[in-house]
Amino acid sequence: MKIQNTFLTVDDHDKALAFYVDLLGFTTTNDVAYGGFRWVSIASPEDLGTNVVLINVGGGPDTSEADREALAALLAKGMLPGLVLSTGDVDADFARLEAAGCDVIQEPVTQHWGRDCAFRDPAGNMVRLNQHV
Amino acid sequence: MAPTPADLRALTRARDLMDRRYVEPLDVPAIAASVHMSAGHFHRSFREAFGETPYAYLMTRRIERAMMLLRTGTSVTDACFAVGCTSLGSFSSSFTRLVGATPSAYRAAAEAGDHDWLKALPGCVAKTVSRPMRSQPAVRPPGPA
């Protein structure tokens, strides 16, 4: 068994794609829009079978307005679960993302297992980059 | 009026900046300006969003970092200055109020292995779960008190 889809809430798909596809290099594997909602799947070019689906706040039309507002606030406060990515060169990635104006959470730091840094995606999700030695 | 998601996103950006620069003295007007807010509006909306004033948040962050240093064997004096506090007395009283133990008692407990459970967690998770909270004592390991 393997993981096929997992979900990440974003507030603006175009901004999210500029971050995840243009800057981080993920591939768009699916892009569906319906009734004001949109589901965009992204995957690593190295593993197109493991997708992260970027969803609207609340996911679909059956979420109440109160729940949607609560989720939008939590997203903006960085309190929804984010992503941990594995990369071959944390320092090069950090330099590129910082130069592009991304919000830094943590500069590259050496850990006992390697090196890591962290950013926020445009919506406020934490994206941590790990480089194992 | 409740803050908009855009306001909250800006406040999170400011909080991330404070998290990164916790060693430096807090410059509320500069941080507020970096997210295009007046100092007064920033102070009020930060407290509303995160439950602490910006200064209280900074001290929580410093104490959380100091706890990490004390767990890894740093002396109380070195931990105090390493996190940006300039008075050992006020550092110790803030620490004790937040953590429920003096810095030296916390360090001694770490030496005795009381905090070893945190070593099983990735650093970013340990940071979150070990962060002291003003409304309740710092998290304790599972099991009888």
Domain holding B16, by residue range, is 5-51
- B21 pLDDT more than 80: yes
Q: Angle CA(B69)–CA(B71)–CA(B74) in degrees, nearest 5? A: 45
- Number of domains within chain A: 1
Query: Please, are residues B3 and B46 in contact by the beta-carbon 8 Å criterion?
Result: no
Chain A residue numbers touching B49 (CB-CB < 8 A): 77
Complex ipTM, two decimals?
0.91
Residue of B nearest to A57 (CA): B5
pLDDT of residue B143: 54
Pick the range with the lowest mean pLDDT from A113-122, B26-35, B89-98: B26-35
Residue B142's pLDDT band (boundaries 50, 70, 90)?
A: low
pLDDT tens digits along A36-64: 899 999 999 999 999 999 999 998 889 99
**Arithmetic mean of pLDDT over chain A:** 96
pLDDT of residue B138: 47
Chain A residue numbers touching B12 (CB-CB < 8 A): 76-78, 120, 124
Do the domain assignments include residue B75?
yes
User: How close A102 comes to chain B (CA, Å)?
Assistant: 11
Question: Is the same domain home to B107 and B68?
Answer: yes
Do the domain assignments include residue B144?
no
Residues paired with residue A38 on neighbouring β-strands, in sequence order: A33
Give me the torsion for CA of B93, B95, B97, B102, rounded to 10°. Answer: -80
Question: Is the same domain home to B105 and B85?
Answer: yes
Question: Is the same domain home to B63 and B121?
Answer: yes
Question: Is the same domain home to B72 and B32?
Answer: no
pLDDT > 90: percent of chain A: 92
pLDDT tens digits along A77-111: 999 999 999 999 999 999 999 999 999 999 999 98
Question: Is the same domain home to B63 and B116?
Answer: yes
Q: How far apart are CA B118 and CA B124, in angstroms?
A: 11
